[in-house]
Structure 1
Amino acid sequence: ELLNGAPRNYLIASDFMPVLNALLSTHPGLLFLQQTPEFQHRYAETVIQRIFYTLTSHSHCTRISVLDLERGKFLETLMEVDMEEDINRERRFFSYEHFYVLYCRFWELDSDHDLLISEEDLLRYAEHALTHKIVQRIFEGAGRPRSLRESQKLTYSDFVWFCLSEEDKSSRTAISYWFNCLDLDGDGVLSLYELDYFYAEQVYRMECLGHEPIALRDVVCQVLDMVKGDRATENPVIRKVDLIRSKMSASFFNMMFNLSKLFITESRDPLHIRQEHATPDLTPWDRFAGFEYLRLSSEEEESNAEQQQQQQL
């Protein structure tokens, strides 16, 4: 039914639009969006990107096979959503709250609201948490080819892939996204040169903030031990499979290009640890989206209250 008679054995993004249109017009948790067609369109776009992000496991794929659908239990999820009034209980694809967080994060960066963000815009993400070098690689299309090849900007769909990968670096898709960004020569391994290239900017940023940086040699030993374990001395390079096996991909990537999260990892914040232990069924993205939705909702309530006070005056 998704193929609608198309003579092929795979799905493309547009094949999912009839399903999303039906969901938007009938699901009780989405009916309020009928007053804002623009939000309906962005919600559908977000869900489709999340479907591809979750089911294809790598960032260069524009097709979804029947096997991908079966492995990801997409049709079962669709039936569950159809029977569940609270759309936010489904967190992999359809959550409105998750869409709201993604779109608001994009809107906050898109200062001129042309639905495109520049390198300068993305550098402001999470209070300048990312290095210039990693942002340059994102805009080069290393993590995922940009939707607009002729433009040096990211679309909203591009941002969805970035944000999902940034806030949960443990998924296979995120590992592929960030590994490709770090793999400067595209040879499928991260060499000591590449680790040095990216970590050097982290050292500079730490020094600017008055923090004593960890020496590169110590970082290399720490990274290889973290990712490769007993095999660290056999071959001092890192492959994608090493990161998947190690379960330490988030710590590794944060060490390479996200200073804020590197500090959180190094400090082992007790509150952060308690939150993880209290919600073992949630992914890092689920936790991030939950906290962000509360923050955004609180800010919106405060803004509405201020407007009401001004009107009364």
Structure 2
Amino acid sequence: MSTPSRPEFDASKKADELFFDWFTRPTTQELLIDHLSILLADDDEAKGGDKAPATPPLAPPSPTMPSPPQSPTSPRDSPPPGIASSPRSPRSVVGDVSPRFTRKKSVEARKMNARRARRSAAAATEASKGKAINLPRFYYRNGRPKDDEEKAAEIEREIERVFRRFGGRISREDFPSVVKACGLPLYWKAPLFVACGGGDRQPVTSEMFEKTWKRLTTTCHDDASQFIWILTRGRQSYVVPEDFEFLIQDIIDTHPGLTILADTPEFQARYVETVIARIFFSVNRSWSGRIGTVELKRSTFLTVLSLLETEPDINQVMEYFSYEHFYVIYCKFWELDTDHDLFIDKTDLARYNDHALPPVLIQRLFSEAVQRDLKKNDGKMSYKDFVWFLLADEDKQHPTSIEYWFRLMDLDGDGVLSMYEMEHFYKQQVKRMERRGIETLSVEDCLCQILDMVQPRVSNQIRLRDIKRTQVATLFFNTFVNLEKYLEYEQRDPFATKENEGDSELNAWERFCQRTYDQLIAEEQMAEEYLEDGFDDGLDEELAALKSNDEDSPDLEALLPDEFDDAS
């Protein structure tokens, strides 16, 4: 039986470790610096320093007389090998200082100079650190302060004139005059009125406004920080959903395009919820539930809010505030919420879009992957969560939509869609297509096509950045999570795609709302006509045919009667 061989000992590696340990010790560093300073001083002395008196040249050694051996006790005083030493008489060096004493004194002086040099270097380093603190400031969280004192003085004079015109006290109805004098957007008026201490029966005095305006302008110097300060009254550097409620309610009360909501308080509450959900869906890219100055600056919200002042048709402001978009969202929710308690469960959601969602996805939707208040809502989906779901389902190219569906498909939450996770979702789609008698791709072929389409940087692992980098997010997610939309794509007419999309300036969400709103209005008009005629026979059948006769329906020919086939 052979004995196991002993591991080889690497002496050079061990020596390197010991040397590194010795070299990095503070005492070693100080010693090396001292010796380096001495060597540099010797070099300077040899090049241009004070030279010692020259001694007469020594005669070359006799070839027959060898050089005397060096004394082991005094190597410094012995001559180099091969040179004969010339004995010096004590009388020849009378009055000279001992060479050993002179060298010792020189070494001590050099050490002192080295210590002085180290102290000077340390002082220079500290001085440089002090200068770094005085660098010009380049980052301002609340915007760079403005030096236009003349403009600020003009604004203050205009504000004073407005308050004098109203007798020093301004109510909420007259407050837009103050907002325009300040140069702020019109619909900042209600939050600013409340920030100044105003209320339903409490007008704002000139002193109250002057105090608030001074605090606002001295701490916030750009639109984003000022908007957040006004909504939160300076209490925090971010806004939460509740901070928008008073602002949007004021838009409902005063915008000419929303007079239709004047007599319907229950619809007003839903409109407020819808707008807030859409704001956070588009602006709150961090999914934190809080919007700070950075996210607000990167978004279009403040620009869109300013457009409300000049656009009387609220439906032309398609981002956030469109009434038609709100109507579509609420009608979709109302169809699923059978008990009308403003919550839907798994059974309700299963009926969405003609049972388009696979069961495994419905289970994930009612997890905490994309819903924050699931436990508080007794395991049901709230109206706000449904708004996010519908936005994500109809426009899967939106950055938040991509993150939404990626979170749902990432079962283990490791930030990677593995082959197992994609196979897990696609098998559900295959089963449902087989029940309908639809020919399907095998799992292997489907995953190969997906990988060729996405081209992930890491083989067989799809990350969020891989999907965002490409323009195939819609097809990618529909393949796994929405059977109806997947079949629509597979059965599409490639030559009529652009015609069906209509205006290329509209995104997928806006086209969906436009199409669905027209359909809902047509259904209502048809219902009114039947009621006016006094009968409702066949109403349900015609409404069902109208619903299915959508331009994005996967099989329009199946809706035609048999006689059309015979005629053709």
TM-score (structure 2 length as normaliser): 0.52
Counterpart selection for 1:304 from 528, 543, 546: 528
Describe how 1:204-243 pairs up with structure 2 within 5 A. 204-228=431-455, 231=457, 234-243=458-467
State the match for 1:104 in structure 2.
331
SS of match in other structure, 1:10: coil
Unaligned runs of 5+ in 1: none
State the match for 1:286 in structure 2.
510
SS of match in other structure, 2:455: helix
SS of match in other structure, 1:3: helix
SS of match in other structure, 2:339: coil
Distance 1:36 1:271 in 2: 42
Counterpart selection for 1:35 from 242, 251, 263: 263
Counterpart selection for 1:258 from 469, 482, 487: 482
Counterpart selection for 1:116 from 343, 352, 359: 343
Describe how 1:5-16 pairs up with structure 2 within 5 A. 5-16=233-244
8 Å CA contact 1:139–1:146 kept in 2: the answer is no
State the match for 2:500 in structure 1.
275
**CA apart distance, 1:81:** 1.4
8 Å CA contact 1:144–1:177 kept in 2: the answer is no
State the match for 2:318 in structure 1.
91
Distance 1:281 1:148 in 2: 40
Distance 1:38 1:189 in 2: 43
State the match for 1:176 in structure 2.
403
Kindly tell me: are residues 202 and 103 of structure 1, through their superposed partners in 2, closer, same or farther at Cα, counting changes over 3 Å?
Answer: same
State the match for 2:284 in structure 1.
56
State the match for 2:252 in structure 1.
24
Select the structure with the greater relative contact order (CA < 8 A; seq sep ≥ 6): 1
State the match for 2:430 in structure 1.
203
State the match for 1:139 in structure 2.
366
Q: Higher helix share goes to which structure?
A: 1
Distance 1:4 1:62 in 2: 15
Distance 1:148 1:288 in 2: 32
CA RMSD of aligned residues (A): 1.6
Q: Deviations over 1:187-233 (max 9, x none)?
A: 0000001011100000101111111210111111111111126x4xx
8 Å CA contact 2:304–2:319 kept in 1: the answer is no
Structure number, greater radius of gyration: 2
**CA apart distance, 1:85:** 0.6
Counterpart selection for 1:194 from 411, 416, 421: 421
**Structure 1 runs (4+) greater than 3 angstroms displaced:** 146-150, 270-273
**CA apart distance, 1:76:** 1.6
**CA apart distance, 1:249:** 0.7
Counterpart selection for 1:248 from 453, 459, 472: 472
SS of match in other structure, 1:236: coil
Distance 2:481 2:335 in 1: 22
**CA apart distance, 1:264:** 1.4
State the match for 1:157 in structure 2.
384
TM-score (structure 1 length as normaliser): 0.94
8 Å CA contact 1:123–1:130 kept in 2: the answer is yes
Worse-matched range after superposition: 108-117 or 65-74: 65-74
Q: Deviations over 1:42-80 (max 9, x none)?
A: 00110000000011135x321011222221132221110
Distance 1:108 1:85 in 2: 30
Distance 1:308 1:148 in 2: 47
Unaligned runs of 5+ in 2: 1-191, 193-229, 536-568
Distance 1:6 1:280 in 2: 42
SS of match in other structure, 1:294: helix
8 Å CA contact 2:277–2:384 kept in 1: the answer is yes
Distance 2:491 2:308 in 1: 40
**CA apart distance, 1:143:** 2.6
Paired residues, what number?
306
State the match for 2:548 in structure 1.
none
